[in-house]
A and B are shown apart, each in its own frame.
Chain A
Amino acid sequence: MGLLTGLRDSISRVTERLFSASDPKRIGIYGPPNAGKTTLANRIARDWTGDAVGPESHVPHETRRARRKENVEIERNGSTVTIDIVDTPGVTTKVDYKEFLEHDIDEEDAVRRSREATEGVAEAMHWLREDVDGVIYVLDSTEDPFTQVNTMLIGIIESQDLPVLILANKTDLEGSNIKQIENAFPQHQTIPLSALEGDNMDEVYDMIAEYFG
């Protein structure tokens, strides 16, 4: 009897999980190279799961494959929001191995990285097409946000009717200009933060819960 009860309980737990209204949403972290996407993904993952997502680096295109961290449970105001985080390679229209040479990487390795980065961008664009339920778009707030890549990606995200949060990252740096990003995408909520320092992460989590919960 006890066995049957236990089995029934466990089945009901499984079905509850399967058909729960709060199935994890798959949230893609997108943005240009070196905006701090992996730093943010790691910050979120570490804050709520204790693990990291991938290595961070100053070298552009360090993330050359989309990396996923599943079932990240974010607690806000007494309730829990569960999301899968997908850290994607930085999206760009040009990849040149010479960029890597400046970072003390030999030519053969640079060419390989370049090829992998290109594949990564293709993959990221493909994920955007059908594999994400929402987007966190990360921008380096010290850089000019008015670029073809940003405009195109935000346009695609809007055409997909995906919920999107725009994060103005690197507020710890001197040239950070949040207003510039707000002006570039006035139709979306812009949240300033420093993923590296962990500044303003509370607001980021509030907004993640509100947008993707």
Chain B
Amino acid sequence: MPHQCTNCERVFADGSKEMLSGCPDCGGNKFQFKPDSATETPTLGDDSGGGDDAETTPDPSADATSSPTRESTPRTPSADAAAAGDPDPTPTPEPSTAADATPGDDVIEAESDPSVLTEDTAQADARSDVVSADELDDAASPPPSADDAARAVPPTSDESPGIDDLRAELNDQFESIKILEPGQYELNLMELYDRQECIISLQEDGHYVIEVADTWRDDA
């Protein structure tokens, strides 16, 4: 149960599309992310009374821990922060003592664990999403300078060639129209939007005819 509405605490399964348009129960649009391992902590079990977490904290002190645990949960600002293993002010990351640890340790364990989790479908979706041109620019600029600092590359005449190369490489990877077979096409909308010339005709053999700027007319 990785996603939970921060408003009404309704839980959604991993990959659920229900929450994409807001919580169907309360309309809330803020959700916190709870990786599978985190659900083993008493945090979620306390409010739902579900049995799947009984194994983790069988001793009665779990009841006593419920209120601090629950308080600490909403404090995690977002799913991102939890999933990224946000550096925590609490310093003891040892899982071995968790069995007889204090209530606070339970919480620590839950929050430090996600950093070693394997990627789930939601994260995979987010990672495979298309970024905007601006983001690409931002992402493209740091590497050359980082390279310069890290190793003595041949005298840097200027930094732009590296960025240009990267852009060219990206352009090669993301062509504007991919012809899978005649009648089946994949379109890269950002690339189509960015390109100067307007594609006016696709040919059967995979070529396309473009109208170059010099021949543009103001009016059709």
Contacts and interface: CB of A to CB of B under 8 A. Distances in A.
Q: Do A and B come from one complex?
A: yes
Nearest to B200: A119
Nearest to A156: B193
Interface in A131-178: 144-146, 148-149, 152-153, 155-156, 159, 177
**Residue among A98, A115, A128 facing the most chain B CB atoms (10 A cut-off):** A115
B183 A114 contact: yes
Given A94-B187, A114-B184, A122-B187, A183 B193 contact: no
Contact of A122 (B132, B184, B199): B199
Main secondary structure on B side of the interface with A: mixed
A114 B184 CA distance: 7
B127 to A, nearest CB: 14
Given A119-B201, A119-B202, A94 B21 contact: no
A123 B195 CA distance: 11
B47 interface: no
A191 interface: no
Contacts of B183: 96-98, 107, 110-111, 114-115
Interface residues of A, number: 37
A170 B53 CA distance: 46
B21 A183 contact: yes
A122 B176 contact: yes
B190 interface: yes
Contact of B185 (A114, A129, A152, A184): A114
Given A115-B202, A119-B200, A122-B177, A92 B21 contact: no
Instruction: Classify chain B's interface size.
Output: 20 to 34
Contacts of B192: 121-122, 125-126
Nearest to B190: A152
B186 interface: yes
B130 interface: yes
B205 to A, nearest CB: 12
A91 interface: yes
Interface in B91-143: 129-130, 132, 134
Given A126-B198, A152-B130, A146 B187 contact: no
Nearest to B186: A94
B132 A155 contact: yes
B64 to A, nearest CB: 40
Nearest to B194: A129
Interface of A: 91-98, 107, 110-111, 114-115, 118-119, 121-123, 125-126, 128-129, 144-146, 148-149, 152-153, 155-156, 159, 177, 179-180, 183-184
26 contacts: A91-B189, A93-B186, A93-B189, A94-B185, A95-B184, A97-B182, A97-B184, A107-B183, A111-B183, A115-B182, A115-B183, A115-B185, A118-B185, A118-B202, A119-B199, A119-B202, A126-B193, A126-B195, A126-B198, A126-B199, A129-B194, A144-B21, A159-B132, A179-B22, A180-B21, A180-B22
Lowest 7 CB-CB distances: which A-B pairs, in order? A97-B183, A111-B183, A125-B192, A122-B199, A126-B198, A114-B183, A180-B21
Given A97-B183, A121-B192, A159-B132, 20 more contacts: A92-B187, A93-B188, A95-B184, A95-B185, A97-B184, A98-B183, A98-B184, A114-B184, A114-B185, A115-B183, A118-B177, A125-B193, A128-B193, A129-B193, A148-B129, A148-B130, A152-B130, A152-B132, A180-B21, A183-B21
Interface of B: 17, 20-22, 27, 29, 129-130, 132, 134, 176-177, 182-190, 192-195, 198-202
